[in-house]
Structure 1
Amino acid sequence: MNLDRRLLGLATSQPLPFLKAVVSGAAGGALQIAQAYILSLTAALLFLHTERRGELPMLLGMLAAIALLKTLAGWWSQREADRGTGNIKEELHKRLLEAVIARGPIYTSSIASGTLSSRISKGVEALDPYFSQFIPQLFLALIVPGIILAAVFPTDTLSGTILLCTAPLIPLFMVLIGQAAKKATARQWETLTRMGGYFLDILQGLTTLKLFGRSRERGAAISELSEAFRKTTMDVLKIAFLSSLTLELVGAIGTAIIAVQAGLRLMQGTMDYQTALFILLLTPDFYLPLRQLGTKFHAGMEGVSAADDLFPLLEGNVQPAQTHAISTAIAPNHPISFKNVTVFYPGKDTPALEAITFTIEPGKKTALVGPSGAGKSTCINLLLGFIQPEKGSMLYGRTNLSSLDLASWREHIAWVPQHPRLFNRTLRENIILANRSASESELMEALELSGLGPVIKALPDGLDTLAGERGARLSGGEAQRIAIARAFLRNAPIVILDEPTSHTDPQLEASLRTSIDTLISGRTALIIAHRLSTIRNADRIIVLDKGTVIAEGTHEELLGQPGYYREAVTSVNRGCS
């Protein structure tokens, strides 16, 4: 019957608007009975009781008033249903966003951005017909026919019995056809989600596709997905038309039975004209809410399919927010220790880190090196709180990081990624993300220390210049300087750098290196190192391979030991000679 307990739970969170919608709809049903009665009485006076025609103006005025009230009741019912639906959609958008944020970047990187975007945007919008149409109509299909039966039975028992016996046929056929409709709608929704996600991915990678001459090929793939969506949509429409035909047929047959038996009894003189007309006028209105429920059943089916995509995101395993107050002792004079830390990523049997132990000394520069997939980024994800260890512990001084408030802990960390994320907002907004309470003088100081000051001054709009989608209006070096400016503005005791100079030319690297050295001076710094110039100056170098620590020491100490580090340095020196 398309009743999803999860969606009903959302509806019960906004009971008042839906209650008003149902009450208004029921009032419209009661007004329909009054309208049928007055119409039948008007016809009887007009054709049979001519001596009472003086009452006609009053009856016509009452009909006009009832028609107006019916219109207002219908408008108010839909308005309240839309208001309740809007509140639910707003709350659901908020909950979904919070769920994605709680899962963190590890989750978002594991799913195509286009697919996730389609789920949240189109998925929530697909729930609109379910709440604004199907849920109110479900109650009206129970209430309005009941009200009409209560009016018909005292007037004519036979007609009431016919209506009562034929009414269940409509929901019966609706449920039988709905089983096929559910499967077809699920296929349609899956195709739509896949097509939306694929289209967004192609748009984001259009430059690469053009360079390699593959844009037309991807266009053909979109055409194939569009054709698949067309076919699944037509399958749904076929079932919907079949359902409408069946429900209309049942309603028409029921109306015909009422009309025939009322006509025969009218001719035999066992039923008076006004009663027969009154029942005939009400019969279509008796079946109408049931037929509309069948129509809106299919409108709400897409909402159920969308819910199957949305609710796993809301109900999945999300790490609970940490609520303990952070110690005021957080400062650059405590070591950060990894104690036998093991990490598994979801769906992976091999650990990303396996029982690693090392210490990041306060006020020192520690470098993480190793081949791709060694576990360097996982260490940073642990420190930033994006993931939690399966085994082992991480300590700040003697305090376990899992006991600290995550948001407060992150306030004590400045992060400079290898590929900084820039939003299509002004440069000012992109930079003050790091510290919204920073003063104008602090912002200017961060610009100068990061080397971004001359760049800003050369722009016509200065800090009010839009960065463009993903920083499209800026060069790679300018984007890196924005990331460094964020770190200066953060003014945190702990700095994490995912080597921001790895994809720069030597001149730009030297310029950025000056700003980075100023940034990490006197702070606890952890650097994922890719270049020898960075590694050589580190106070401590930790070598990772396949999720384990295979060596650690200073540059000179590791050069004296056989293994990955000496081979990597020797290879770099050989390439430079």
Structure 2
Amino acid sequence: MKPLDPRLLRHARSARTFVVLAALLSVGATLAVIVSAFAIAHALAPVVEGRAELVDVLPAVGVLLGAVLARTGLVWLRERLGQSAAVATVGELRGALLRHATRMPHRWRVRRGDDVTVLATRGLDDLVPYLTGYLPQLLLTAILTPIALVVVLRLDLISGVIIAVTLPLVPLFMWLVGVTTRTYADERLAALTRQGSQLLDLLAGLTTLRALGREIGPGRRVRQLGDAYRRTTMQTLRVAFLSGAVLELLASLAVALVAVEIGMRLVYGHIDLTTGLTVLILAPEIYLPLRAVGAQFHASTNGLAAAQRTFEVLQEPLPAAGTRPVPAWTRLHLTGVGVRAGDRGYLAPGNLHAVVEPGCVTALAGASGAGKTTAAMTLLRLQPLDDGAIRLEHDDGSTDLADVATDGPDGWWAQTSWVPQRVATVGGTIASHVGATDDAIRDAAAAATGLLDVVASLPRGWDTPLASGEGGLSSGLSVGQTQRLELTRALVSGSRLVVLDEPTAHLAARDEAAVVDAVRAVARAGAAVVVIAHRPTMLAAADRVVTVRSTPAPEPTTAPVPA
């Protein structure tokens, strides 16, 4: 990633605003530094040379005090703005990342989901040091260093030439060290991604592992990943400390060289004390922003690596999306539907034929990995087809190709509902989650799905609060009850197509029967229900059972080469 990547400014409005404000504050800080140098020199030189009393230099002292206060205030304001901009920028990038990822095909999310999860949670938080430390210092360097150097050249050509010759050595060493640090930062982020993926897999399968008595074994692998993350972090810190010492030594030697030559010329009277003091005060200030940039760079490398990965995700092309309204339909016909399983050489699903119609429950059955979830994603317009087609049948018996490129997914999603195994809630109450504007419609839908009995058993009824998170209901609702909650929501919204992923998985027999009845109630209300199912009870309750299979992927055809 570049020191100031244009993609950051393009995707985060807060970053653009902060860059402008930080540049203006840097101009003010630069003027304060230069004024301070002149004020100190004009206050000390006359007193040292005996040309003035202390009272005579009080105006210069007053100017110095004002410049110091102005510089302090500008730095404080820049830091406050930097903290606010960092929080807002990380939030904007996280939102853009999640919105982009949710519009990508299902198979892409399966492949890159762990990477997106790490970036959206821990990864982008590392961008805060870049925005609060590195970027402001970079802007200050770009403004203060050249302006102060020009002032020194105007005051004393010899000192200005020495600074101009030694100054490029600092960014040169920064670049050499930065290449090594970036490698360690990339390795650290990769280790964090692997660790996060392993933990997600472990937590998802912890119930099964514990049932089999294998919950201890994966801990060894997690510990190894943690050690790898610790090693890469320590390597980054080691390089940061060593490079910081190198930059400090280089800048100190350059300033010392300026001080020695000014001292020699003061002895022989080749430069006056006021000019010499001004140059001596400005010389460290010229190197200081570069040294600060070098120090802040190492703290921001992890964030830069995360931002680079985020921009790579945001540059992934989205599926085509049109704006044509979705025409009314009475049936969905899946004809020879196939989706490539990455680069594994087969379609999952492959050659899938099915009819989905309102009032019926269609179950997708088959072996694990056959493509049942992917088939459901094609119905939800979350996964484009590689083979076959989905057609809409209308009242007059005619059919129309369901083309996401012309229809657009938004119109389709407005008439569909997706109920995963573990329901995610965003707070509020049960009533607000269901979303009905009419209590009679809400109660009728809840009665059909069995949710009304659940609500009646709760002390606060429909006003029972829901916690934010996956399956996290502060009311203590069971998994089966949350499934009925989502089915009620689908009934209230009038969804034409309702897709469920294993709604009875891990449920006791009583809860399973209640969820099956709720699924049947949704179908009786006129929705086309598609269920990914394994358990016999759910399969027996379905009107149609479609077996999903994987098939070998056809070889890509190539056009003949003209003779």
Q: How would you bin the TM-score normalised by the shorter chain?
A: 0.7 to 0.9
Q: CA deviation at 1:270?
A: 1.7
Q: CA deviation at 1:531?
A: 6.3
Residues 279 and 11 (structure 1), Cα distance of their counterparts in 2 relative to 1, 3 Å cut: farther
Matched residue count: 539
SS of the residue corresponding to residue 354 of structure 1 reads: coil
In the alignment, is the contact (CA less than 8 A) between 1:342 and 1:391 conserved in 2?
A: yes
Residue identity matched to 2:446: L
Partner of 2:228: 228
Partner of 2:90: 89
* 2:457 is the counterpart of 1:458: yes
Partner of 2:558: none
Q: CA deviation at 1:168?
A: 0.9
Partner of 1:343: 339
Q: CA deviation at 1:535?
A: 6.0
Partner of 1:572: none
Structure 2 residue ranges without an equivalent (≥5): 394-398, 553-563
In the alignment, is the contact (CA less than 8 A) between 2:480 and 2:511 conserved in 1?
A: yes
Partner of 2:246: 246
Q: CA deviation at 1:323?
A: 1.9
For residues 221-243 of structure 1, give each alpha carbon's deviation from its aligned partner in whole angstroms, at most 9, with x where no partner exists: 44433332222222112211221
In the alignment, is the contact (CA less than 8 A) between 2:185 and 2:305 conserved in 1?
A: yes
Partner of 1:574: none
- Counterpart Cα distance in 1 of 2:362 and 2:16: 57
Residues 493 and 34 (structure 1), Cα distance of their counterparts in 2 relative to 1, 3 Å cut: closer
- Counterpart Cα distance in 1 of 2:152 and 2:538: 89
Identical residues among aligned pairs (%): 29
Residues 400 and 439 (structure 1), Cα distance of their counterparts in 2 relative to 1, 3 Å cut: same
Partner of 1:411: 414
Q: CA deviation at 1:264?
A: 1.3
- Counterpart Cα distance in 1 of 2:220 and 2:391: 53
Partner of 2:148: 148
In the alignment, is the contact (CA less than 8 A) between 2:423 and 2:483 conserved in 1?
A: no
SS of the residue corresponding to residue 44 of structure 1 reads: helix
Partner of 2:555: none
For residues 373-418 of structure 1, give each alpha carbon's deviation from its aligned partner in whole angstroms, at most 9, with x where no partner exists: 444443322211121212332111223221324232233335555x
Residue identity matched to 1:249: L
- Counterpart Cα distance in 1 of 2:269 and 2:428: 84
Partner of 1:383: 379
Q: CA deviation at 1:25?
A: 1.6
Aligned with 1:546 (options 515, 528, 550): 550
Residue identity matched to 2:238: K
Partner of 1:34: 35
For residues 327-364 of structure 1, give each alpha carbon's deviation from its aligned partner in whole angstroms, at most 9, with x where no partner exists: 3x34xxx2222233332233332011334444445655
- Counterpart Cα distance in 1 of 2:383 and 2:549: 20
Residue identity matched to 1:131: L
Partner of 2:263: 263
- Counterpart Cα distance in 1 of 2:364 and 2:12: 52
Q: CA deviation at 1:533?
A: 6.8
Residues 172 and 368 (structure 1), Cα distance of their counterparts in 2 relative to 1, 3 Å cut: closer
Partner of 1:439: 438
Q: Show the 5 A alignment for 1:451-530.
A: 451-466=450-465, 470=471, 473-496=476-499, 500-501=503-504, 511-521=514-524, 523=526, 525-528=528-531, 530=534
Q: CA deviation at 1:261?
A: 1.2
- Counterpart Cα distance in 2 of 1:26 and 1:499: 61
Residue identity matched to 1:423: T
- Counterpart Cα distance in 1 of 2:111 and 2:151: 60
Q: CA deviation at 1:288?
A: 0.8
Aligned with 1:428 (options 427, 430, 436): 430
SS of the residue corresponding to residue 412 of structure 2 reads: helix
Q: Show the 5 A alignment for 1:253-292.
A: 253-292=253-292
For the pair shown, the structure with the greater C-alpha radius of gyration is: 1
Residue identity matched to 1:458: S
In the alignment, is the contact (CA less than 8 A) between 2:504 and 2:538 conserved in 1?
A: no
**What is the TM-score when the length of structure 1 is the normalising length?**
0.83
In the alignment, is the contact (CA less than 8 A) between 1:375 and 1:547 conserved in 2?
A: no
Q: CA deviation at 1:265?
A: 1.3
- Counterpart Cα distance in 2 of 1:324 and 1:278: 70
Structure 1 residue ranges without an equivalent (≥5): 549-577
Residues 459 and 320 (structure 1), Cα distance of their counterparts in 2 relative to 1, 3 Å cut: same
Residues 283 and 210 (structure 1), Cα distance of their counterparts in 2 relative to 1, 3 Å cut: same
- Counterpart Cα distance in 2 of 1:51 and 1:514: 98
Q: CA deviation at 1:501?
A: 4.9
Q: CA deviation at 1:515?
A: 4.0
Q: Which moved more, 1:266-275 or 1:505-514?
A: 505-514
